[in-house]
Structure 1
Amino acid sequence: MKSGEVLVIDLFAGPGGLGEGISSTTHSNGNKPFQIGVSVEKEPSAHKTLTTRALFRKLAKEPTAKQHYYDYVQGKITREQLFKLYPNEALAAQEETLKAPRALGIDNDLIHARIKELVSKHKGPKIVIGGPPCQAYSLAGRSRNAGNKDYKAENDERHFLYMEYLRVLTIAQPDVFIMENVRGILSAKLNGKVMFPQILKDLRNPGRVTKIKDTASYRIYSLVINAKNPNNPQYSDSADFLIRSEQYGIPQARHRVILLGVRDDIKKTPQILTRAAESITVKETLSDLPALRSGFSKQPDTTIAWEKTITKHSRQLVKAFKKIYPEEAINNLDLTPLLDLPRASSIHTNRVNNQVPEPLKGWLLDDSLGCVLNHETRGHIEADLLRYAFCAAYAQLNDGVSPKSRDFPEELAPEHKNWTTGTHADRFRVQSANKYATTVTSHISKDGHYFVHYDPRQCRSLTVREAARLQTFPDNYLFEGNRTQQYVQVGNAVPPYLAQQIGQVVLQLLSI
Structure 2
Amino acid sequence: MNSIELFAGAGGLALGLVNSGFQHKAIVEVNKDACKTIRNNNVFDYGKKLYEGNIINFDYTTIENEIDLISGGPPCQPFSLGGKSQANNDSRDMFPQAVNAIREKKPKAFIFENVKGLMRKSFEPYFKYIILQLQYPSIERSTNESWEQHHAALEKYHAQSAHTGLEYNVTYKLVNAADYGVPQKRERVFFIGFRTDIHINWTFPEPTHSEDALIWEKWISKDYWKQHQLLVPTIDEKTLKKVEKIKKKYGSSKPQYLPWVTVRDAICNLPDPQKAHAKNFNQHIFKGGAKIYPGHTGSYIDDPSKALKAGTHGVPGGENMIRYEDGSVRYLTVRESARIQTFPDNFQFEGSWSEVMRQLGNAVPAKLAEKIGLSIFNALIEIKGLT
Shorter-chain TM-score bucket reads: 0.7 to 0.9
- Give the Å deviation of 1:292: 2.1
The CA distance in 2 between the partners of 1:169 and 1:432, in whole Å, is 41
Residues 198, 436 of structure 1: alpha-carbon distance in 2 compared, 3 angstrom cutoff: same
- Unpaired runs of 5+ in structure 2? 143-162, 209-256
In 1: Cα distance, 2:74 partner to 2:329 partner: 36
Aligned partner of 1:102 among 37, 53, 63: 53
Which has more strand, going by share of residues? 2
User: How far is 1:273 from its partner?
Assistant: 1.0
Task: State the partner residue of 1:289.
Answer: 270
Say what the alpha-carbon RMSD is for the aligned residues: 2.6
1:28-177 aligned at under 5 Å gives the runs 32=21, 34-53=22-41, 55-58=42-45, 93-94=47-48, 96-98=49-51, 101-105=52-56, 108=57, 111-112=58-59, 115-118=60-63, 120=64, 122-123=65-66, 125-142=67-84, 155-159=89-93, 161-177=94-110
Cα distance in 2 for partners of 1:489, 1:443 equals: 10
Percent identity reads 28
Alignment match, 2:289: 380
1:9 paired residue number? 4
Match of 2:111 among 174, 178, 182: 178
| 2:332 aligned residue | 462
Give the drift of 1:153.
5.5
C-alpha displacement of 1:453: 2.2
Q: Partner of 1:139: helix, strand, or coil? A: coil
Cα distance in 2 for partners of 1:7, 1:210 equals: 28
Larger radius of gyration: 1
Deviation at 1:447, TM superposition (A): 5.1
Contact 1:128/1:178 (<8 A) preserved: yes
Contact 1:167/1:210, CA 8 A, preserved across alignment? no
Structure 1 residues 453, 444: CA separation in 2 closer, same or farther (over 3 Å shift)?
farther
1:159-184 per-residue CA deviation (whole Å, 9 max, x = no partner) reads 3x110111111111000000110011
Q: How many residue pairs were aligned?
A: 312
| Whole-angstrom CA distance in 2 between matches of 1:104 and 1:483 | 26
Letter in 2 for 1:45: D
Query: Secondary structure at 2:185's aligned position in 1?
Result: coil
Residues 450-486 of structure 1: CA deviation (Å, up to 9, x unaligned): 4332446985211111111011111111101121111
2:16 maps to what in 1?
21
| 1:452 and 2:321 aligned | yes
TM-score, structure 2 as length reference: 0.74
The answer (yes or no) to whether the contact 1:187–1:194 under 8 Å persists in 2 is no
State the distance in 2 between where 1:221 and 1:287 align: 37
Aligned twin of 2:183: 251
How far, CA to CA, are the matches of 2:87 and 2:68 in structure 1?
33
2:307 counterpart residue number: 439
Q: Distance in 1 between matches of 2:315 and 2:171?
A: 38
Residue 178 of structure 1 aligns to a residue whose secondary structure is strand
* Cα 1:153/1:179, change in 2 over 3 Å: closer
Change (3 A) 1:444 1:250: farther
One-letter code aligned to 1:169: I
Give the SS at the match of 1:486. helix
* CA–CA separation in structure 1 for the residues paired with 2:72 and 2:313: 23
SS at match of 1:345: helix
In the TM superposition, residue 154 of structure 1 has moved relative to its aligned partner by 5.2
**Contact 1:186/1:195, CA 8 A, preserved across alignment:** no
Helix, strand or coil for the counterpart of 2:300? Answer: coil
Counterpart residue type for residue 80 of structure 2: S
Check if 1:426 corresponds to 2:295: yes
2:224 pairs with 1:279: no
Long gaps (5+) in structure 1 = 1-5, 26-31, 59-89, 146-151, 223-240, 294-340, 348-371, 388-413, 415-424
| Alpha-carbon offset, residue 436 of structure 1 | 1.0
Task: Name the SS for the 2:100 alignment partner.
Answer: helix
Question: Which amino acid is the alignment partner of residue 133 of structure 1?
Answer: P
Name the CA distance, whole Å, in 2 between partners of 1:461 and 1:376: 10
TM-score, with normalisation over the residues of structure 1?
A: 0.57
Q: Partners in 2 of 1:444 and 1:246 — Cα distance?
A: 25
Determine if contact 2:305/2:340 at 8 Å carries over to the other structure.
yes
